[in-house]
Amino acid sequence: SRAFNVESVRSEFPTLNQTLDGGMQPVFLDSGASAQKPQLVIDKEREVEEQYYANAHRGRYSFGARVDEELDAARDRIAGFINSETSAQVAFTAGTTATLNMIAAGWGGRFLKSGDEILITEMEHHANIVPWQQLAIRTRATLRYIPLTPDGRLDMDRLDEVLTAKTKVLAVTAMSNVLGTVTPIAELAARAHDVGAIICIDAAQSVPHMATDVQSDDIDFLVFSGHKIYGPTGVGVLYGKAERLDEMDPILFGGHMIDRVYKDHSTFAAAPAKFEAGTLPIVQAIAVGTAVEWVQGLGVAAIHQHEQLLLESAYSQLSQIPGMTIYGPDVSHRGAILSFRMADVHPEDLAAILDRRGVMTRHGHHCTMPLHDLLGVSATTRASFAAYNTAADVTALVEAIEFARRTLRVA
């Protein structure tokens, strides 16, 4: 990978290289929601649209063949990126939320029964809570939670209390979208397998920031979204061990996912086709391959190192601001996300004032209401970092918060 030069990285992002009304440069600190796209990814989408757009799957003409080739290449690239055993174990989906619903209904719906337990954590995104709640209702299984330590890590000392022979699925985020907490995936997988459970990883937040290896971590299912890894919206990824995908039922039925259709019944194709009913978001899926290629070009380790330096700087400067509360663990246990509150300032007011300085953050419960209940607040303001953020962005955040303190006359 080439040497990491943040100014050069940033120059690849058209949205970040414009002047906002008022003459400010954008300080984009909401990549945890959706990352910006480098020119390479935008160009790839245009290339497909302008040069060979067609539906996928064996059109006997040049456009169709090219689309198939590009989709295969994207699938191969993603498989390599997460170290999947084969490309056939990577299916394109509509996103993390859609994929977690597929697994809960399609695998959980097949195997769970009354008395079984589903184990998640207190820091999950609603996308990794609600599908399991629905599964529990349908199967009369019980949903349980791994508790957190006071500083927002998984309380591994209490894992035995909740991970038992009754547990059939452990579904956990690899990185919290609020606390930034990085969870010990390999250890959790081993512990889950010890009791005969499978492990399902919500990697939506982790894939852009740290290396993913489904084989070394022994992961059964792993899911993520294109739009958080510098790619388009509307597309995500399902990875599964071959055996898991074989035994998992599809939840969308129709074209392409079948083997043979008779008037009264059908047989299904093997993965990945089994999970790709209908027309895929073709352009977007191809562009996710390009986004992953872009990340690989920089090196996910180099991106991680860069972001952790920004995180350390932001964490230490924000900690010194009077009245500031930062939620979650210290920087050694988290990725580059900071959620905070300042005194009694409402997180939305804070975000709105930061925006007056061109500093774009997100406020609210970030789709983690149970976590916010635990934190005892209804909302936080969140700054999340990506490869294109600079030390100047951190300075802008700190200065904008100081500006907010003065504007709001916080003591």
Any idea which residues carry the catalytic annotation? Answer: 367
Count of CB atoms within 10 A of residue 354's CB? 24
Closer residue to ligand PMP in complex, CB, 84/205: 205
- The separation between CA 260 and the C-alpha centre of its own chain, rounded to angstroms, equals 35
Q: Is 104 in the site for ligand PMP (CB under 6 A)?
A: no
Check residue 339 for interaction with ligand PMP (CB under 6 A): no
Q: Which of residues 125-164 bind ligand PMP (CB under 6 A)?
A: 125, 127-128
Verify binding: residue 250, ligand PMP, rule CB under 6 A. Answer: no
Residue 380 binds to ligand PMP (criterion: CB under 6 A): no
How many residues bind ligand PMP (CB under 6 A)? The answer is: 14
Q: What is the Cα–Cα distance from 232 to 228, expressed in whole angstroms? A: 8
**Locus of tokens 């504007």:** 407
Query: Which of 116, 117, 122, 202: binder of ligand PMP (CB under 6 A)?
Result: 202
- Strands 117-121 vs 167-173: parallel, antiparallel or unpaired: parallel
Shortest Å distance, C-beta 402 to ligand PMP: 28
Cβ(369)–Cβ(377) under 8 Å? no
97 binds ligand PMP (CB under 6 A): yes
* DSSP assignments along 233-267, one per residue: SS-EEEEE-HHHHHHSPPSS-SSSSEEEE-SS-EE
Q: Which residues pair with 221 in a beta bridge?
A: 200, 240
Please state the closest distance from residue 255 (CB atom) to ligand PMP, in A: 23
Token readout for 177 is 């979208």
Residue 59 or 234 with smaller CB distance to ligand PMP: 234
Binding of ligand PMP by 181 (CB under 6 A): no
Judged by DSSP in three states, 6 sits in helix
Q: Which is nearer to ligand PMP, 33 or 88 (CB)?
A: 33
* Tokens of residue 114, six digits: 């009354």
Answer yes or no: are the C-beta atoms of 382 and 367 closer than 8 Å.
no
Site string for ligand PMP, 219-248 (x = CB under 6 A): ------x-----------------------
Among 139, 177, 181, 308, interactor with ligand PMP by CB under 6 A? 177
**CA 101 from centroid of its chain's CA atoms:** 15
Residues in 204-223 that interact with ligand PMP by CB under 6 A = 204-205
Residue choice 35, 74, 93, 95 for contact with ligand PMP (CB under 6 A)? 95
Q: What backbone phi and psi angles, to 5 degrees, belong to 404?
A: -65, -40
Residues that bind ligand PMP (CB under 6 A): 33, 95-97, 125, 127-128, 173, 177, 202, 204-205, 225, 367
